[in-house]
Amino acid sequence: MASLQDTPAFPGPGLSTDQDLLLMQEGMMMRKVRSKNWKKLRHFRLQNDGMTVWHARQAGGRAKPTFSISDVERIRLGHDSELLRNLAEEFPLEQGFTIVFHGRRPNLDLIANSVEEAQSWMQGLQLLVDFVTNMDQQERLDQWLRDWFQRGDKNQDGRMSFQEVQRLLHLMNVEMDREYALSLFQAADVSQSDTLEGEEFVQFYKALTKRTEVQELFENFSSDGQKLTLLEFVDFLREEQKEQDRAPDLALELINRYEPSDSGRLRHVLSVDGFLSYLCSKDGSIFNPACLPIYQDMTQPMNHYFINSSHNTYLVADQLCGQSSIEGYIRALKRGCRCVEVDVWDGPSGEPVVYHGHTLTSRILFKDVLATVAQYAFQVTSDYPLILSLENHCTWEQQETMARYLTEILGEQLLSTTVNGMPLNQLPSPEQLRGKILLKGKKLTTLEEDIEEEENEELQPELEREQGSEVELDPFLEPEPEPELEPELEPGHEPEPESEPQEPSSRSKDKQEKVVKCPLSGLPICCQIMVQTPSFNPESLLLSKQIAKPILCPALSALVVYLKSVSFYSFTHSKEHYHFYEISSFSEAKAKNLIKEAGNEFVQHNAWQLSRVYPSGLRTDSSNYNPQELWIAGCQMVAMNMQTAGLAMDICDGLFRQNGGCGYVLKPDFLRDTQSSFHPHRPISPFQGKRLLVQVTVTYTCSPGMVSASTQLPSLCTSASGKTWGRRNLEIATKNPEGLGAEKPTEALSPSPLTSSKPRAKRRINQGSRHHRQRLGKDS
């Protein structure tokens, strides 16, 4: 491991002469922007290590760390920043740029004093980001140590006192007994200066992360305890890692990849350091790399897949006062989300806006949301279909504006017609809809009527000209009920009723999907229906109170093709009156109650129709539920508050990490069968229950991207003596082996909460001694 004392001015060859980096090291005054009203001048400077940026209130002032280059994902131009665009009248966009960080850490928006200075910083930062991206594992570890040393060295004197070390351990989420930490510190302080410098800090790190159980595992297969020969490493791969026939070829490949010494690679032996490097590498991951690319059948109907879904995607904080931002859509799409939510309300000057209705959340323009979706929908992780879940609260006029923006901004990406050759009994597959954006929302007509109208348009083009004809309605004619805009409103839009909706009568069943038609042309009427209160005096009819109810604009309705939103009354009602292309939304509590009371019916329902579940309105802090409880009933779109890190999002990320991270995961066959007898809460037979024995070894490891086990799995860790690892056997009883899933934090190591009932299904978890990698911090 490289010494920190000899850290070069720049980490890579050729960087020390780059003029942009030299200018960054001199430092520069720039405006740090948080809002339209918060713009502060700060002095930003690239440190001598070439890998960390600090800032101060003024040049020469007391500086503090801002970010490490390792934390940076990309650099955006000022034109691409929502915040900087709002300041375009004050500052030229060419002078601004945005630093985007990994995980959920907020972006950093900066405005330089000139276009040239902005260009220097953008080019210099991008050069360093590219350099970090191309580092190998050892270089990443060395740089990671330098970053933490810089962060812990508060007074920047190149040395760390014990107080600074304690502060650093706190920053790293390490809970350690003070006496034990002091003993490690004193053992590493070979200069007896009461401080750690360079290589001493490296030794402290090694003592801190000493892996006793790894040493024991190594010695079980090593004849001399110092190295693993090629044959000994082959034995380890076969017996411990269950690699079987591929072990001989794999052993040589792994030695060449992870053995740090040249002599070790020449002799085909693996040292303890090389062994540990392998265990902590992607090759030692618990996740089967064969499941990383797209490996599942993508030609099944859409309702046969779990779909990565977001709730109130525009929010980047809480549900009451949080900020609405297009950044929410960018982050969700970057995480592989394939269903985003758009709550649209009437805005000023005829411009529809997006925000959480009846709250203090900020507002963004609907057209800006669409522009962002058009840019990022298929740019980052997946080209499989994206669903816009539209919550429409607008008047007829602004609905027309919405329809125009959807067609103009999304263009060819928007699916506006049915897929050619599709049978009228199942949804298209993700494969058939690649590169398409689907609109989910209310619809005036049925899919069958749309197809019939498309065929008639070829024979009767004059129908299109008749669409604008005006018809005078008989004021005494009682219209049939038109479709409501929001039969299943989410909390925060309108109050949710305490009682369950009653199944409609036989008369209302026949009428509920009908639309008011123009008597002459047979086309939907684009107006508001005025329902008058009854009166015995005809003259008072004109003076009586009128109740106006807006109806759905046909132009917007026509853009909903396969995902027509409908109210849920009962599973029996859905079977008798609904179609495969219709979708119902359920609150968290409603869905869980249905699973408990009618789990098997819910499973069968989800085998032929899509369901969307959204978090409770009481989760004003944007917390999340456990999505496994809904997936196990086959619910496809379990919407998550993606801005909130935690176990629930870890489970969600785990499921959708597989299959290329494309946002679609094929459901097990027992959740795709409309005749399935599976019930999530009840055994099929009392004799079919099984027990699964899992041995879990939990080890705290401070290394790039790893997280403290004491934070995630407190029940398995002890730290009083300084040892932060433990081993425990977990016995999991399941009534339904087909639906076996992770129920506890200790089982969140599994990248998938569901296992297929087919024995030949590809195993998503590698056997043997493996690691699970997570990032440090709440913003990951």
Residues forming the active site: 311, 356
Whether the Cβ atoms of residue 636 and residue 716 lie closer than 8 Å to each other: no
Residue 597 Cα distances to 268, 578, 584, 610, 635, angstroms: 61, 22, 18, 20, 16
Q: What angle do CA 359, 364, 366 make, to 5 degrees?
A: 115
User: Could you tell me which of 106, 101, 104, 112 has the C-alpha nearest to residue 32?
Assistant: 112
Q: Which residues pair with 28 in a beta bridge?
A: 44
Whether the Cβ atoms of residue 725 and residue 709 lie closer than 8 Å to each other: yes
Strands 96-101 and 108-111, bridge-based pairing: antiparallel
* The residue type at 635: C
Strands 690-699 and 546-549, bridge-based pairing: unpaired
Burial (CB < 10 A; 0-12, 13-18, 19+), residue 637, is buried
Q: Which residues pair with 305 in a beta bridge?
A: 666
User: Could you tell me which of 641, 644, 752, 639 has the C-alpha nearest to residue 339?
Assistant: 639
Strands 96-101 and 72-77, bridge-based pairing: antiparallel
What residues contact 745, with CB distance under 8 A and at least 6 apart?
647, 712, 713
Could you tell me the two tokens for 199?
Answer: 């290589």
Owner of token pair 């430092």? 27
Residue 499 Cα distances to 92, 495, 502, 519, 565, angstroms: 55, 12, 9, 38, 21
Residue 437 parent element (H or E): strand 437-441
Question: Distance between CA 53 and CA 40 in Å, rounded?
Answer: 17
DSSP labels for 282-308?
GGGBSB-GGGSS--S---S-GGGEEE-
Owner of token pair 């019939």? 452
What residues contact 236, with CB distance under 8 A and at least 6 apart?
221, 228
Question: Distance between CA 270 and CA 268 in Å, rounded?
Answer: 7
- What is the per-residue burial (b if ≥16 Cβ within 10 Å, else e) of 98-127? bbbbeebbebbbbbbeeeebbebbbbbbeb
Q: What angle do CA 486, 488, 493 make, to 5 degrees?
A: 70
- What is the per-residue burial (b if ≥16 Cβ within 10 Å, else e) of 213-249? ebeebbeebbeeeebbbeebbbbbbbeebebeeebee
Burial (CB < 10 A; 0-12, 13-18, 19+), residue 365, is middle
Question: Distance between CA 556 and CA 403 in Å, rounded?
Answer: 5
The three state secondary structure string of 339-386 is: EEEEEEECCHHHCCEECCCCCCCCCEEHHHHHHHHHHHCCCCCCCCCE
Could you tell me the two tokens for 479?
Answer: 């219209």
